[in-house]
Structure 1
């Protein structure tokens, strides 16, 4: 059972057909149909514009299984992608593997670490990370059942590994058959049973003691190089731009863009038109590891922040 929801019924995939309790069910090819498909199986959904919640919506906070609400959303935004909140709303905790940022190399390293740990414990080797898996635009989502304890929050560079993020409490993932910005569709690679979050991974989490929540609207500490920000700095948009650039790295660029947009509106008191040049500057200057951060993504963050804070 998922924590906080009913069990998802999908067990196996054959082409685009799902074998469910002995019956073949066609997996939907549109996001609207998929939203109903997930909702009927106890998984709350909400619409996203690419990867970002639509303006004047509350994102994963509004996720629902209510058919009337879902129908209204997709009448308003027929091209919307579909997303599912992670953590307690769905009972899912997800390892997000980003192939653009060495995620597959990190995944191989993580698998090797886990196998060495099994040897240390004198346990027979097994596929610790075997679970339901989705292809994303540039990587994989490994979907696990959330543990009862501890509550796992969203984090980047899971246990210090580049290209692997954890989506837990306070997060969400875009799910098949959504369209990735690179033109590829998300698709289920495996409808294997959803495995419990591995205890060996929980051991790694406890050892590192570095888990912390990353919410888009969470503030950052004001301490910078040994001092607190002066009140005058809080109204200076250039200050917030530099703070975001200092904090951003591969794997956190989108979160930091959301944070910057919120700070420009909430602290610097800018209008969206006034804030736009700073988001464009952020997109141009943020480290990319060889991959540019799209200006369109930064401006979507600004639209979302304005809708939430105005």
Structure 2
């Protein structure tokens, strides 16, 4: 079990309760920015449960604004030193614009370029400063629009946290340091996303080709079946991630499991790997 930093845990709970009071659904996080509660299905054949079982440990699906439930989540994870804020959930339908400055990228400059090119101005809104030098810009979206998570799709150095994703909340302690509100933004509420930017965040509708998904799915199955010893788990995880990113993960899970078993993995190993891909396709913010 993780070492418990009681002071950090107390602060994390206090910050999480404050966020919940503002209508922001929260979950406890570890110093690694990952959900603090392990899945209750690690040894079960139910990798796609999203909390229907009533137990804790379903990542962002546990997120809540109910203070009693927030306290219960943190009581179950006393090692938590931070909290995540679920995006895409009512009442705010939060969208997180994650501007990275690592690996030679400059998300701030990239966003300025996108704004100039598409003629929009960012409103005054909540901004969170990350320990690595990046920024999280909080915006709100329409209730009838699903914004997907993406990494560098908008531009290099710009990740987007939408439905199924979460942002590390201000006040959280991580291995890299503390996330803090940018000066002058603490009193602000998340502002509506500019229409021009919102259009860029919504992926274009795909043309309807009934045979397209089965072919794509079969290519992933074939990729798993071609695995040699030492590649089996890696190939399965890669294929499962691509399946969930393309919206066919749940549909393809049984076939991926069967393919992995044919390569030599056990059913338990295959299901655990696919469950990991299902959880990790909604990655935490940097």
- The TM-score by the shorter chain falls in which range? 0.5 to 0.7
Aligned to 2:116: 115
- Is 1:51 the counterpart of 2:53? The answer is no
Whether 2:139 is the aligned partner of 1:137: answer no
> Could you tell me which residue of structure 2 aligns to residue 92 of structure 1?
94
The question of whether the paired residues in 1 share the 8 Å contact of 2:25 and 2:89 is answered with: no
Verify the 8 A CA contact 1:111 1:128 in the aligned structure 2: no
1:166-225 C-alpha deviation (Å, 9 max, x unpaired): 11111111112111222x10111122342211112134346x7389xxxxxxxxx5555x
> Equivalent residue for 2:180?
187
Residues 93 and 143, structure 2, Cα contact 8 Å, conserved in 1: no
Closer/same/farther in 2, CA of residues 178 and 74 from structure 1, 3 Å limit: same
Gaps of at least 5 residues in structure 2 are 1-8, 41-56, 207-215, 281-286
Contact persistence 2:100–2:107 (CA under 8 A): no
Change in Cα spacing, 1:236 to 1:93, as seen in structure 2 (3 Å) is farther
CA distance in 1, matches of 2:223, 2:200: 39
TM-score by length of 2: 0.62
* Aligned partner (choices 225, 229, 251) of residue 222 of structure 2: 229
Equivalent residue number for residue 61 of structure 1: 61
Gaps of 5+ in 1: 1-27, 119-125, 212-220, 280-300, 306-310
Cα 1:72/1:246, change in 2 over 3 Å? closer
Q: For each residue in 1:265-295, what CA deviation from the matched residue of structure 2 results, as whole angstroms up to 9, or x when unmatched?
A: 9564658x979xxx9xxxxxxxxxxxxxxxx
Distance 2:197 2:141 in 1: 12
Q: Report the secondary structure of 1:82's partner residue.
A: strand
**Contact 2:171–2:179 under 8 Å retained in 1:** yes
- Partners of 1:59 and 1:113 lie apart in 2 by 32
Task: Name which structure has the greater RCO, CA cutoff 8 Å, separation 6+.
Answer: 2
Cα deviations across residues 104-125 of structure 1 (Å, max 9, x unaligned)? Answer: x24313313322443xxxxxxx
Cα offsets for 1:117-145 (capped at 9, x unmatched): 43xxxxxxx84254210012221110001
C-alpha separation in 2, matches of 1:202 and 1:75: 38
Using the size of structure 1 for normalisation, the TM-score is 0.58
Contact 1:146–1:197 (8 Å) recurs in 2? yes
Residue-pair matches, total = 223
